Amino acid sequence: MKKLYILIILLGVAANTQSQDTWGDTWGPPYPLTDSLTDNVNATLSILPQEFWQPDTLYMLWERSSDPLSTGIYARNLTTMAGSFMVAAQLNVHFKHPRVFRRGTGDTLFYFSYETDMNGNWDLYYSILMKNEVALGPYPFIQSSLNERTLNWGNSMFFTWEKEGNIYAKEFFSDTVHLAGDSCHNPISLSSAIVAYEMALGTETGAFFSIYDDIGHNWTGPFPIDISGTNTHLTFGNDSYGAGGSILFWQNNNGTFWTIKGFDPDFITYYSFNNFPGCNNISPSYCYVNITTYQTFPAFCTFSTFASDVTGNMEIYVNNVLGDTIYSNLSDYSGIDAHPQLFNNFNTLFGALDNQLFDIWESYRGGHWQLWATKMDFLTGEENLKNEVARLKCSPNPFTDLTRIEYFIREEGSTCFTIFDLNGKKIVNMNSASDGNGKHSVTWNGRDGSGALVPAGIYVCAVNTGNTVSRCKIIRL
């Protein structure tokens, strides 16, 4: 599946003609998410599935600064568009770089991490957001007399961070490992296997990565990705958990313009696209959307977004990488728009947010940075669903020992279940069944085809009825 996915990307890149226009009416108009009287930056999202709330619920965290000495972290329920509320703040203290790293259970919505200088230097902390929108914390994560910053999560058990120009990695049940240093900054994680980061090389900045060896249980690297010019703003893309694909994107400057590049560390393959020639193209973000719920075959729509000054103003553009050669201008504002981020739900449930893609960016207006957004809805109507596997749901999710997969089919037929990891590797084929129309269920004990427990992480359950395929994400703790 992954090789096919990479091939499709290559076809999309080869067909790219770098045109500029709007494509269709699929993206809605931009709208503000924050006030116009304070500075608001660094948004991150967490989409909570129906196991926690009905319907699916979208929360956004971000930094808000009303004076030079204080920066707090705020939250907002974007499903209800209720007012924002503070979740971490203190007078004359900075709270920065919020990141959701684990969904909760019971009365807990999710856990989120951040960096703060409340002790005189930068340390890493976390808090817990409850269903009543009360935040518990702050609780210390990593503290020392030095500066720890840029905590980055590959999954709920694995994280990396920067300390005084050195990159470190750690799992909850393992020792801290020094990956690279010195003069390294801004680590970004992909699952628990790859970490990319910036490294100063004299007057230039190179992009490097390290790899975790599952057999030898050690880290190897650093390996160079690009050591020509200045390479910054590394990203592996976003979904509702943060890591949305295996392609690394970054912005490169070789002395004239900023351009966006891509690299697959698994296949050691380079890509170059999403560049308006002769313009500055910065702040890439990327994610893919599995839209099999509304199709009769598995289909990945791979979207990318970036900021560019192609019109003379820095504005936000987006395109569908897989074959779509036309860019949409999402911000359409004669000012400064920067740092766009794509987020998608990935769930195949029929909740309020299913199959919606969000693009959120920073816009400088009236002397302050605001957060603006727009979204694209993949819903195509009930007529396209008449032969689908509908209301696919896994509960509990996340789970430890056993989860029940509930599904509803509209026509009688044979049903087959398969569990995959996020790289498309088949984990186990579950028993096929001949079902009549209506509601049914099957259980998975978290084991692969050989009977061994799979590692904690994110998996995909595919339900195949012969003519249709539907999927849902399952998280094993």
SS in 3 state form for 317-374? Answer: EEEECCCCCEEEECCCCCCEEEEEEEEECCCCCCCCCCCEEEEEEEEEECCEEEEEEE
Residues 371 and 429 in one domain: no
Residues 400 and 298 in one domain: no
Q: Report the first-to-last Cα separation within the chain, whole angstroms.
A: 25
Q: Mention every residue, 6+ apart, whose C-beta is less than 8 A from residue 276.
A: 18, 20, 308, 310
Output the six-digit token pair for 305: 């977004």
Angle CA 367–373–376, to nearest 5: 160
Question: What is this structure's pTM?
Answer: 0.71
CA distance 40 to 75: 11
Q: With beta carbons less than 8 A apart as the criterion, state whether 328 and 319 touch.
A: yes
Residues 271 and 218 in one domain: yes
The model's pLDDT over 148-190, given as tens digits with 9 standing for 90+, comes to: 999 988 765 678 999 999 999 887 667 888 999 889 999 988 7
Output the six-digit token pair for 138: 């702050």
Residues 464 and 350 in one domain: no
CA distance 189 to 379: 31
Strand, helix or coil for residue 413? strand
CA distance 386 to 379: 14
Residues 204 and 343 in one domain: yes
Question: What one-letter code names the amino acid at 313?
Answer: N
For the beta sheet containing 315-320, the strands, ordered from the edge strand earlier in sequence to the opposite edge, are 19-20, 326-329, 315-320, 300-308, 281-290
Assign residue 313 the CATH number of its domain: 2.130.10.120
110 forms bridges with which residues in the sheet?
103, 129
pLDDT of residue 399: 83
Q: With beta carbons less than 8 A apart as the criterion, state whether 189 and 154 touch.
A: yes
Last residue of a domain, which of 377, 403, 431?
377
Assign residue 456 the CATH number of its domain: 2.60.40.4070
Q: Mention every residue, 6+ apart, whose C-beta is less than 8 A from residue 217.
A: none
Angle CA 196–199–203, to nearest 5: 145
CA distance 157 to 135: 22
Residues 373 and 416 in one domain: no
Question: What is the chain's percent helix, strand, coil content, to nearest 5?
Answer: 5, 55, 40
Tell me which residues of the chain have a pLDDT lower than 50: 1-25, 50-55, 239-244, 291-299, 322-323, 346-354, 379-390
Residues 409 and 362 in one domain: no
Last residue of a domain, which of 355, 377, 399?
377
Residues 147 and 269 in one domain: yes
Nearest Cα to Cα of residue 234 among 276, 271, 262 = 262
Residues 366 and 411 in one domain: no
Residues 310 and 389 in one domain: no
Half-sphere exposure in the Cβ direction for 116 (13 Å, CA): 25
Which helix (H) or strand (E) segment holds residue 280: the answer is: none
Q: What is the DSSP letter of 452?
A: P
Last residue of a domain, which of 336, 354, 377?
377
CA distance 453 to 11: 37
Output the six-digit token pair for 279: 């313009």
Nearest Cα to Cα of residue 443 among 419, 422, 464, 466 = 419
Question: What one-letter code names the amino acid at 169?
Answer: A
Its domain, for residue 343, covers: 2-377
Q: With beta carbons less than 8 A apart as the criterion, state whether 152 and 183 touch.
A: no
Q: With beta carbons less than 8 A apart as the criterion, state whether 153 and 126 touch.
A: no
pLDDT of residue 364: 95
Q: 253-269 burial, b if ≥16 CB within 10 A, otherwise e?
A: beeebbbbbbbbbeeee
> Domain count of the chain?
2
Output the six-digit token pair for 146: 């030095």
CA distance 38 to 367: 9
pLDDT of residue 355: 56
pLDDT of residue 293: 38
Residues 19 and 102 in one domain: yes
Residues 255 and 316 in one domain: yes
